[in-house]
Amino acid sequence: MSSRNTRTRPAPRPAEPPGVPARRAALRLLDAVLRRGLALESELEAAAGKLAPSDRGLAHAIAAEALRRLPDLDALIDSATARPLPHDAKARSALRIALVQALALGTPPHAAISTVLPLVDGGPRKLVHGVFGTLMRGGAALPEVPTLPPAAAERWEAAWGDSMVGEAARAIAAPPPLDLSLRDPADTAAIEALGGESLMPGHVRLPAGASVPDLPGYVQGAWWVQDLAASLPARLLGSGAGKALDLCAAPGGKTLQLAAAGWEVTSVDSSESRLARLAENLCRTGLSAEVIAADLRSWEPGAAADAVLLDAPCSATGIFRRHPDVLHRVRPALVAEMAALQRLLLARAARWVRPGGRLVFATCSLEPMEGEAQIEAFLAENPDFALDPPSSDAMPADVGIDPRGWLRILPGMLAGQGGLDGFFIAPLVRVR
């Protein structure tokens, strides 16, 4: 028998105690965002097959809350160590995970630390245990309003002033509400069954934490999940009167709105996996659209459209409440890279609008380079287009229309009712 056949396999890793796989996954997620600059959501999707759904949910909750609270967690850790731990040290991330559970997520301290210590086995276990114990005995607490990472705070202060930075910090202190867009805004039975608050026709706001598939009307496709701010770009196109192109369409909230409003919709996106979610959403709601998987840098439509919506890829800093990784990994170089792609896509999208037709450009970004500066440059180069602002009555209370004709949605808007995602939306018309 050859030696290859007699070689013994390495012993399988012993099963970890309950609770540890979720914390190990949370540690990997933090590392992916903070050290490798990757998006939390895509890392979570990549981990999907390797974790039980409940562990995946817990890992996401721990990592996201640690990212919301990172500067305050680090300040606590630094207050209890003689010499600061390196920012990418495993011990620091293990402590972040233990502390955020004990101080923000309601995990009993003994469970928070006992499920984290195996992550530093063979390493600084004693240090992690000691720092955690010192902080707990000393009555450590996190501030009511989280501290934003300095790079994001400085960038936003320069763009919007210091009160916006305070509002952004308050916006991550509590989980954002759940917004639903109704397939039929006149469906009073669906609105009554859901309860909640309606801030615009066809909108229902529920408190955070609801289990989406268990809500009334989910199976019947009576609504879909969509932040109120994210619903505004398609609302600006009004009721359907012809052909609409939804560009960068997946996972499809705006396609559903346009189809429900009567447009004959063609939806284009380059991501097959995100388009699969769009197809599921169309199927659940019984709405229809032609769906095309293509890169918009080379795709061309057969004919000009009456309306074009470009919900362009961007830094996504406006959705920092649900995706707090953007607070840490978005840097000016990424914003500039996304702005260059938007400029190219916008120039192409503009060519596909018929004279007299409308074009809406939107980004879920709080960076002026992906909003105001983008549209000013576009208008300077495209005299066939003009801004076409809606009447302010058509917008939710608190959402003002900029005198220049676009909508800039900042974190403080509707703060008393749960807030809004940050957005930039430019409604344009092709005048000739």
- Interaction between residue 382 and ligand SAM (CB under 6 A): no
Question: For residue 350, which of 329, 330, 317, 374 has the smallest C-alpha distance?
Answer: 374
- Of the residues 182, 249, 259, 369, which one makes contact with ligand SAM according to CB under 6 A: 249
Interacting span for ligand SAM (CB under 6 A) from 77-85, 119-127, 268-276, 400-408: 268-276
Q: How far apart are CA 196 and CA 186, in angstroms?
A: 16
Q: Which of 65, 72, 74, 269 binds ligand SAM (CB under 6 A)?
A: 269
Rounded to a whole number of angstroms, the minimum distance from the CB of residue 223 to ligand SAM is 14
Longest dimension (CA), the chain: 84
Taking CB under 6 A as the rule, does residue 225 contact ligand SAM?
Answer: no
248 annotated active-site: no
Among 24, 203, 254, 329, binds ligand SAM (CB under 6 A): 254
Of 132 and 406, nearer to ligand SAM (C-beta) is: 406
Peptide bond before residue 176 is cis, with ω within 30 degrees of 0: no
**For ligand SAM, which stretch binds (CB under 6 A), given 5-13, 24-32, 69-77, 251-259?**
251-259
126 lines the binding site for ligand SAM (CB under 6 A): no
Supply the minimum distance, in Å, between the C-beta of residue 293 and ligand SAM: 9
* Whole-number Å distance between alpha carbons of 394 and 391: 6
* x/- map, 294-333, ligand SAM, by CB under 6 A: -xxx-------------x-x--------------------
Cross-strand bridge partners of residue 264: 243
Alpha-carbon distance of 155 to 47, in angstroms, equals 32
Give the residue with the Cβ less far from ligand SAM, 296 or 305.
Answer: 296
Which residues, other chains included, contact 253 with Cβ-Cβ below 8 Å and sequence gap of 6+?
181, 224, 225, 226, 230, 231, 234, 281
Separation of alpha carbons 153 and 169, rounded Å:
9
In whole angstroms, how close is the CB of 61 to ligand SAM at the nearest point? 23
Asked whether position 253 contacts ligand SAM by CB under 6 A, the answer is yes
> With respect to ligand SAM, which residue has the nearer C-beta, 155 or 254?
254
Question: How far is 180 from 225, CA to CA, in rounded Å?
Answer: 5
Q: Please give the size of the binding site for ligand SAM, defined by CB under 6 A.
A: 16
Cβ-based nearer residue to ligand SAM, 72 or 421? 421
| One of 70, 199, 248, 413 touching ligand SAM (CB under 6 A) | 248
**With binding defined as CB under 6 A, does residue 95 bind ligand SAM?**
no
Sign of torsion, CA 346 347 349 353? positive
Kindly list the distances between the CA atom of residue 24 and the CA atoms of 51, 60, 103, 199, 256, in Å, as whole numbers in the listed order: 11, 11, 19, 40, 38
271 lies in the site for ligand SAM, by CB under 6 A: yes
Query: Contact region for ligand SAM (CB under 6 A) — 31-39, 74-82, 245-253, 329-337?
Result: 245-253
Nearest distance from C-beta of residue 54 to ligand SAM, angstroms: 27
C-alpha to C-alpha distance for 399 and 410, rounded to whole angstroms: 9
Rank residues 71 and 238 by Cβ distance to ligand SAM and give the closer one. Answer: 238
Rounded CA-CA distance 381/347 in Å is 9
Q: Which stretch binds ligand SAM (CB under 6 A): 80-88, 149-157, 290-298, 422-430?
A: 290-298
In the complex with ligand SAM, the residue whose CB is nearer, 156 or 224, is 224
270 near ligand SAM (CB under 6 A): yes
Q: Return the closest-CA partner of residue 263 out of 308, 203, 200, 202.
A: 308
Least separation in angstroms between residue 89's CB and ligand SAM is: 34
Q: Residue 252 interacts with ligand SAM (CB under 6 A)?
A: yes
- Only segment of 10-18, 193-201, 265-273, 369-377 that touches ligand SAM (CB under 6 A): 265-273
The least distance separating ligand SAM from the CB of residue 142, rounded to whole angstroms, comes to 31
From the list 277, 287, 212, the residue with the least C-alpha distance to 249 is 277
Grouping H, G, I as helix, E, B as strand and the rest as coil, residue 355 is: strand
Q: For residue 289, with 0-12 CB atoms within 10 Å meaning exposed, 13-18 middle and 19 or more buried, which class applies?
A: buried
Angle at the Cα of 353 from the Cα atoms of 364 and 234, rounded to 5 degrees: 35
| Amino acid, single-letter form, for residue 356 | G
Query: Any idea which residues carry the catalytic annotation?
Result: 364
Q: Which residues bind ligand SAM (CB under 6 A)?
A: 248-254, 269-271, 274, 295-297, 311, 313
